[in-house]
Structure 1
Amino acid sequence: MLIARSTRRIGLRLVAFALGAVALALLAGAASSWVPSSVEVDLGQDSVQTLLEILATSMLAVTTFSLTAMISAYASAAAASTPRATQLLVEDQTSQRALSTFLGAFVFSVVGIAALSTEYYGEQGRVLMYAGTLLVIGIVVVTLLRWIHHLVTFGRMADVLDRVEDAARDAACAAMRDPHLGAAAPVTVPHSAWTVHAAATGIVTALDVAALERAAASHDAVIHLLLRPGAAVGRGEPLARVEGADQDALADAIRSAVLIERHRTYEQDPRLGLVALAEIGSRALSPAVNDPGTAIEALNAIHRTVAAILETAPDAAPPTECRVHVPAVLFADLLEDALRPLARDGAGTIEVGLRLQKVVGALAANADEPEASDLREASRRAERRALDALTDPRDRAVIESAARAARGEAPA
């Protein structure tokens, strides 16, 4: 997980590009001996240094502009959609590549200017440095064109919705394919089992089931996890119940295999993406924004995400010989996270109420029991909220008709 997170963060990419730029600038001097002395190119007086100075000046300005544009996009997305979407924008590969390329080009030019001033390059080295500078300029131009095209949509509402929808679908479908994260399904815990308590307060963001399995096997125990990623836990609250001898070493191994952090992440949390989509829709329905269209777009994203969940089946049968048991996420909980905020905040907006009923009806028509039962219950709850908020008889009748159709009931 540390490696996966590092590849998505800009710090590692910035360091790699900067080190690569330094290596490229110094390589021209070291490789000058490879160029035959008979090769002579008239580069003009101080042409290499002039190019490097232009590159250094322009890249410093472009890097500052790019960083400002990225921060503005983060702030705009957090204010207009939800702060939960910011971590997805921060991990955007295009913006990271652009900023890293610009910084790398700046470092390359500064190192090149410093090396030229110390007579590090010979005549052949200047030829190689000139060619390297032209190559860097070409890379910068292509990156800048892509970056400008990317800025047209980066951080806009449609872009944020698409990113959150993709993250929600990936995490939720992964949870459907492997409901227990590689462990076994929960079973009845005997009264003799002892409890492992949390040593920190925060959010469970990941479970290392393989480490838990090794710890259980080495101590001849059975571990029953009580929480899964996304759950909030306080210091001293139960993390797991264990069948076997009460051992401090085993308790420490269980705590180390349960990652507790300050904020929720999308990696193993199938509910966070749906929570974020619902938050985007709810914010759009606030009196200060009053944008039912965005709420409907959020409902459409929820529709696609839940449809993908219903179409995803477990990859294989659960393990038969497993010493670790992990609870699965319930479909009813996913549905509650996705629809309850919009049903509550959109109760007085008939357009949102109608779209919600149509989404629920379309999902229920393609769902098996008990998922279809959960969807029908969501329809009833949304209908009650809408009828309590709407005063126009015609609007109430339209909502009632749509709700009956969503549940497959005969018209009144």
Structure 2
Amino acid sequence: MWFRAGLFCVFAIGLALASAIIGHVISYEFATKVGASSVDSILNVLASSMLAVTTFSLTAMVSAYSGATSNITPRAVQLLVEDATAQNALATFLGSFLFAIVGIIALSTGFYGESGRVILLGGTIVVIATIVITFLRWIEHITRFGRVNDTIARVETAAMKATSAVGPPRFGPRRERDVPDGAALIHLEHIGRITHVDIAVLQEVAEDIDGQIVLSAPPGTMADPSRMAAWTTARPDAKQVETLRSAFTVAHDRAFDHDPRFGLVVLSEIASRALSPAVNDPGTAISVIEAGTRVLSAIVAIEESTDGPCSDKVIVPPLSFPELLEDFYRPIARDGAGLIEVAIRLQKSLAALAEAEPAARADCAAAAAEALARAMAAMTAEADRSQIARIHRRYWS
């Protein structure tokens, strides 16, 4: 967040000081006609008001972060922190305050002549116009910033973007890939979540050793010294092993960029929080189910691509579609088992995925059967049990 604010502050200070350097291009007669002496009072008003606006904006952002942490899910806060509109607003207001302060200090030391005051006045007008536009956008933006629907939309968008970094998913039961005897196993030295894997680096090493490299720890995997990250049947030397390890970015927390599975996990957390007895908001859970259905539909629609650095020398395991269903649907089915409206939406969502991709039908049917079993065990009204059973038969007979 500090980068935009720092960049705008540097620009504002440079604009304030450049007025004295290029002031000689303005004639003295023009300067006296413009009446640039009023720039002192304008800068004083700007300095006093921008400090208050900056404090207000920062307070609003922190309140949104705190609300998302306590009422939605802490994992979604990083998307609010990365919001470009909020960062631009804070950078504009803080930079404008510094522009006014530097201008006032320079005026009090006689740094500007009459011609320099004209340039400073022009820069002040530009800064004021920027403040007005940014403030209007910030007012419109803050009315929904950090709200539940806004956060759901952000998580869905982040998960959608992450689908571009993965290939088609794998349907059906999990199939273990046997590691040949004598294969070189690559282990990472750090403990944390893998957030990115540089496939281009793996490709270069695979060409150097003239062998295949099989990735076994995609983004989102918990890495530790005992967890195999990749393996190869070739024999890389010590330097090549270090190069392979450098291709894995390990952080303390998961990231959305290359991990669509994390987006689905965060969506399910939002639904679980909404379905808790303290909140009791099934409408939010239904909105989450619809958002997750769109993400899963985008994942099953992914086609095999021949573009990019991957080749037959680097084998990347596909996403497991049954595990994606577990990550997203199981917590919602567990926490909303007693609510007929949530149970119905789960059955319809899984049916929509099965219709979108026939290969996913068996996995979706298994998830729907599990959700039905949870609902039948939790619902107390016979009418609700009959209705959800009838809907399940409609789609999965």
**Same fold flag (TM > 0.5):** yes
Match of 1:304 in 2: 294
Letter in 2 for 1:262: H
Q: Which runs of 5+ in 2 are unaligned?
A: 171-175
Match of 2:234 in 1: 244
CA separation in 2, counterparts of 1:403 and 1:17? 57
2:213 corresponds to which of 214, 218, 223: 223
Q: Secondary structure of the equivalent of 1:354?
A: helix
TM-score, normalised to structure 2's length?
0.94
RMSD in angstroms over aligned alpha carbons?
2.0
* Residues 196-234 of structure 1: CA deviation (Å, up to 9, x unaligned): 222011111110111111122223343222110001122
Match of 1:395 in 2: 384
Q: Secondary structure of the equivalent of 1:39?
A: helix
CA separation in 1, counterparts of 2:36 and 2:99? 21
Match of 2:173 in 1: none
Q: CA deviation at 1:190?
A: 2.5
Q: Return 124-133 or 359-368, whichever deviates more.
A: 359-368
Q: Is the 8 A contact 1:13 1:96 kept in 2?
A: yes
CA separation in 1, counterparts of 2:305 and 2:236? 35
Q: Return 147-156 or 209-218, whichever deviates more.
A: 209-218
Letter in 2 for 1:18: C
Match of 1:4 in 2: none
Q: Which runs of 5+ in 1 are unaligned?
A: 1-9, 181-185
Note if 1:377 corresponds to 2:350.
Answer: no
CA separation in 1, counterparts of 2:325 and 2:8? 43
Q: Return 54-63 or 246-255, whichever deviates more.
A: 246-255
Q: CA deviation at 1:320?
A: 8.8
Match of 2:395 in 1: 406
Note if 1:172 corresponds to 2:172.
Answer: no
Q: Secondary structure of the equivalent of 1:153?
A: coil
Compared with structure 1, are the counterparts of its residues 74 and 360 closer, same or farther at alpha carbon in structure 2 (3 Å cutoff)? same
1:367 corresponds to which of 357, 362, 384: 357
Q: CA deviation at 1:193?
A: 0.5
Letter in 1 for 2:63: S
Q: Secondary structure of the equivalent of 2:300?
A: helix
Match of 1:279 in 2: 269
CA separation in 2, counterparts of 1:40 and 1:248? 70
Q: CA deviation at 1:44?
A: 5.4
TM-score, normalised to structure 1's length?
0.90
Letter in 1 for 2:84: Q
CA separation in 2, counterparts of 1:174 and 1:122? 57
Q: CA deviation at 1:303?
A: 1.8
* Residues 137-162 of structure 1: CA deviation (Å, up to 9, x unaligned): 11111111111111111111110011
Q: Secondary structure of the equivalent of 1:41?
A: helix
Report how many residues are paired: 392
Q: Secondary structure of the equivalent of 1:40?
A: helix
Letter in 1 for 2:383: R
1:114 corresponds to which of 72, 82, 105: 105
Match of 2:130 in 1: 139
Letter in 1 for 2:394: A
Compared with structure 1, are the counterparts of its residues 187 and 360 closer, same or farther at alpha carbon in structure 2 (3 Å cutoff)? closer
CA separation in 2, counterparts of 1:308 and 1:255? 31
CA separation in 2, counterparts of 1:45 and 1:304? 58
Match of 2:15 in 1: 24
Match of 1:51 in 2: 42
CA separation in 2, counterparts of 1:155 and 1:398? 36
Q: Is the 8 A contact 2:36 2:118 kept in 1?
A: no
Letter in 2 for 1:102: F
* Residues 241-267 of structure 1: CA deviation (Å, up to 9, x unaligned): 122225221221111111111000001
Percent identical pairs in the alignment equals 44
Q: Return 212-221 or 57-66, whichever deviates more.
A: 212-221
